[in-house]
């Protein structure tokens, strides 16, 4: 279970580092516009909002990394659990308001990771 929780947490980290990069640096580029389905005009008009969103995704990744490397396992699990629950909620909200695939791509891995980390936290107490 510990390995599965680690793998899912790392997967969510990589996802959010990718979102960070896409939204902060590629939003108005051809690749970024294609991924998000934006026209050049829409991308230019929304680039500040996307960069802000990207920054938050970077913070999510940083928080998860902090939890993964924290030297006291119990506290590290609590940190990971907090950020995984935040991602789960964001995935549910995005799935309802933007695109259903967000729920699967973002929400589901975070939810499963949160459940596994919660079990590790309970086992560590």
- Integer Cα distance of 84 and 82 in angstroms: 6
Q: CA-to-CA distance for 20 and 17, rounded, in angstroms?
A: 5
Range of the domain at 118: 2-124
Cα separation, 85 vs 74, in Å, equals 16
Q: Give the model confidence (pLDDT) of 11-41 as tens digits.
A: 999 999 999 999 999 999 999 999 999 999 9
Predicted model pTM: 0.91
Task: Specify whether the CB–CB gap between 35 and 22 falls below 8 A.
Answer: yes
pLDDT tens-digit map of 79-118: 999 999 999 999 999 999 999 999 999 999 999 999 999 9
DSSP 47-72: HHHHHHHHHHHHHHHHHHHHHHH-SS
* Domain count of the fold of the chain: 1
Residue ranges in the chain assigned as alpha helix (H): 2-21, 30-36, 40-69, 73-97, 100-102, 108-124
């Amino acid at each position: 279970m510990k390995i599965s929780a680690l793998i899912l947490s790392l997967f969510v980290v990589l996802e959010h580092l990718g979102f960070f990069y896409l939204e902060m640096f590629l939003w108005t580029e051809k690749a970024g516009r294609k991924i998000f389905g934006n026209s050049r005009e829409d991308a230019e008009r929304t680039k500040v909002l996307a960069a802000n969103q990207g920054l938050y995704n970077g913070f999510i990744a940083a928080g998860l990394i902090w939890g993964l490397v924290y030297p006291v396992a119990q506290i590290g699990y609590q940190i990971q659990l907090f950020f995984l629950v935040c991602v789960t909620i964001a995935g549910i909200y995005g799935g309802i308001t933007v695109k259903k695939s967000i729920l699967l791509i973002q929400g589901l891995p975070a939810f499963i990771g949160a459940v596994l980390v919660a079990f590790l936290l309970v086992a560590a107490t």
